[in-house]
């Protein structure tokens, strides 16, 4: 009788797990589509600000950075921003390896790369805060260049901060057994989001530091 009951319990548990797997597989694509649409809406948001900046740059003054108070504003520190960009792009690489190691059930290396991603994201934000404190371009309301720079890079920095919080929440979930090597949509979404902030920064780096 004990064997029969145990067998019945195991069978029921297996059926429940199989049912969950079916639901997961059926809803995964829909959740992925929903998340991609969310990223598309974010692209539209950034694009509206970027095109507004391009318009202002080409219509307000023939000299850029503009002349304020009889003096042309200095260019931003491209070398520092390049180093900070490498930090952010490096975090995109570590996030990729975090996901790949999770897929292969290598939890120690997943933890390593996930924490490297989080720390690099925080380092990028620290670099951005340092640049804000030392940039000699006025504030949000000082001039068109300063307003555009702080608005766009600040909005991007806000996304990086949300991403860091998102990744930390995902890491906590992995420690609590929410995901396994077959069911890990949250990690996929986190990776897509992190690559998104990388791509947006490529555009902003070109607009403000190279153009």
d(C-alpha 164, C-alpha 103), whole Å? 21
Give the pLDDT score at 194: 98
Task: Please name which of 130, 144, 117 lies closest in space to residue 81, comparing C-alpha atoms.
Answer: 130
Q: What is the count of structural domains for the chain? A: 1
Could you tell me if residue 6 is inside a domain? Answer: no
CA-nearest of 202, 129, 125, 194 to 166 is: 194
- In-domain check, residue 3: no
pLDDT at 186 over 80: yes
Please say whether the beta carbons of 196 and 108 come within 8 A: no
3 class by beta-carbon count within 10 Å (0-12 exposed, 13-18 middle, 19+ buried):
exposed
Query: pLDDT: is 61 or 205 the higher one?
Result: 205
For residue 145, tell me if it sits in a domain.
yes
Looking at residue 175, what is its pLDDT? Answer: 96
Identify the CATH number of the domain in which residue 107 sits. 1.20.120.80
Residue 5's pLDDT is what? 33
Contact between 149 and 113 under an 8 Å Cβ cutoff? The reply is no
Is residue 155 included in any domain, yes or no?
yes
Residue 28 included in any domain: no
* pLDDT tens digits for range 97-126: 999 999 999 999 999 999 999 999 999 999
Q: Give the range of the structural domain holding residue 47, as residue numbers without chain letter.
A: 41-210
32 is a domain residue: no
Does residue 36 fall inside a structural domain? no
DSSP string, 137-187: S--TTT-HHHHHHHHHHHHHHHHHHHHHHHHHHHHHHHHTTS--SS--HHH
177 within some domain:
yes
């Amino acid at each position: 009788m004990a064997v029969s009951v145990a067998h019945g319990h195991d069978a029921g548990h297996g059926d429940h797990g199989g049912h969950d797997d079916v639901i997961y597989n059926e809803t995964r694509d829909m959740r992925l589509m929903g998340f991609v649409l969310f990223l598309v809406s974010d692209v539209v948001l950034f694009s509206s600000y970027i095109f507004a900046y391009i318009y202002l740059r080409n219509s307000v003054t023939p000299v850029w950075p503009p002349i304020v108070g009889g003096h042309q504003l200095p260019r931003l520190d491209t070398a520092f921003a390049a180093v900070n960009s490498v930090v952010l792009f490096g975090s995109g690489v570590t996030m990729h390896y975090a996901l790949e190691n999770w897929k292969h059930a290598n939890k120690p290396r997943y933890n390593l790369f996930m924490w490297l991603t989080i720390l690099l994201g925080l380092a990028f934000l620290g670099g951005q805060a340092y640049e804000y404190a030392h940039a000699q371009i006025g504030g949000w309301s000082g001039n068109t260049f300063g307003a555009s720079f702080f608005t766009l890079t600040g909005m991007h920095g806000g996304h990086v901060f949300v991403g860091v919080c998102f990744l930390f929440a995902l890491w906590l979930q992995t420690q609590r057994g929410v995901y396994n090597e077959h069911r890990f949509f949250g990690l996929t979404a986190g990776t897509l989001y992190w690559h998104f902030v990388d791509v947006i920064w490529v555009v902003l780096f070109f607009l403000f530091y190279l153009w």
